A = this chain, B = another copy of it.
């Protein structure tokens, strides 16, 4: 067996977040579905940007955020994602490497610029994302370095990858390599609309054994099993027999397996400033906990801890050391 070098390898869209606070009426005027993610082309991206208030920029992307969270817990993390040879790409690479994330996916040369997501944050802390995929959508099977995948205890994949045929092939390649090496594969459903686009394929991945650990929130899970009832959706995911973590906002998260369903209560947060990255950081804590051999319920607590930290400030990645925070809260890490 290949030497274990990483707790978690994240594979996903490499995206720089462009964040601004807006009022609710901005969403209404623009007919945007609150809390969702939509893809925008160059024209729409430029149009919306012109309307957006002054913004701050920070590296983001679901799997990238999760890798950063794992690193913040003190875990060994790797990332595969496509950036361009431009300033936003430089920023993205810097933000990954300086926290020790292994990240050496070849940069896209001569194509679209590095991806960015215009994240509109309403006063209630909810975020509505408008993503221009740019270079990130050129992620291809050739970018999946087998040595890195084989060296990672868990390979974590974004549902968003399914939006592009090339990235989908990369996803499948990574999952196959991981399993061949005796490693685990994890999927986050990413977004209820994403699930709506690829429901049958996602269910196929779960049932054919491509996925060992599933992440979803309430609306994604209901969309996956095409039911308005959370109870039915929970029963369905339990029947499918994988380890699943289902986040339920302020209530925390359910840790679901064939044997049991446990509600792990959320960590208290004084003021929710920006929910961007909440799911990604939950996944970071949960996967880090599993990788360190902690029981799934304790891993869920680490997930809630990381989510609580990230929603208390603007930006999708931890602002303080999650390892320090976890130790202060008495976790044995």
Chain A residues engaging chain B, CB cutoff 8 angstroms = 18, 21, 49-59, 68, 86-88, 91, 94-96, 98-99, 113, 315, 317, 319
Contacts and interface: CB of A to CB of B under 8 A. Distances in A.
A87 B113 contact: yes
A50 B98 CA distance: 7
A53 B98 contact: yes
25 contacts: A18-B91, A21-B319, A49-B94, A50-B94, A50-B98, A51-B98, A52-B94, A52-B98, A53-B99, A54-B58, A54-B68, A54-B95, A54-B98, A54-B99, A55-B58, A55-B94, A55-B95, A56-B57, A56-B58, A57-B57, A57-B91, A86-B87, A87-B87, A87-B88, A87-B113
A21 to B, nearest CB: 7
A87 B68 CA distance: 24
Nearest to A56: B58
Q: How many copies does the complex hold?
A: 2
Report, nearest first, the 6 A-B pairs whose CB atoms are least far apart: A54-B95, A57-B57, A87-B87, A56-B58, A87-B88, A56-B56
Contacts of A50: 94, 98
A54 B94 contact: yes
Given A54-B99, A56-B58, 13 more contacts: A21-B319, A49-B94, A50-B94, A50-B98, A52-B98, A54-B59, A54-B68, A54-B94, A55-B94, A55-B95, A56-B57, A87-B87, A87-B113
Task: Pick from A56, A99, A315, A319 the residue with the most CB of B within 10 Å.
Answer: A56
A112 to B, nearest CB: 13
B317 A54 contact: yes
Contacts of A21: 319
Contacts of A98: 50-54
A94 B20 CA distance: 12
A114 to B, nearest CB: 8
A50 B55 CA distance: 24
Nearest to A116: B87
Task: Pick from A52, A68, A95, A113 the residue with the most CB of B within 10 Å.
Answer: A95
Contacts of A56: 56-58, 315
A49 B98 CA distance: 9
A50 B100 CA distance: 12
Nearest to A319: B21
A99 B21 CA distance: 13
A86 B87 CA distance: 8
A100 to B, nearest CB: 11
Contacts of A317: 54
Contacts of A99: 53-54
Contacts of A113: 87
Nearest to A54: B95
Contact of A58 (B53, B57, B68): B57
Nearest to A99: B54
A94 B240 CA distance: 48
Contacts of A86: 86-87
Nearest to A72: B54
A178 to B, nearest CB: 27
Nearest to A21: B319
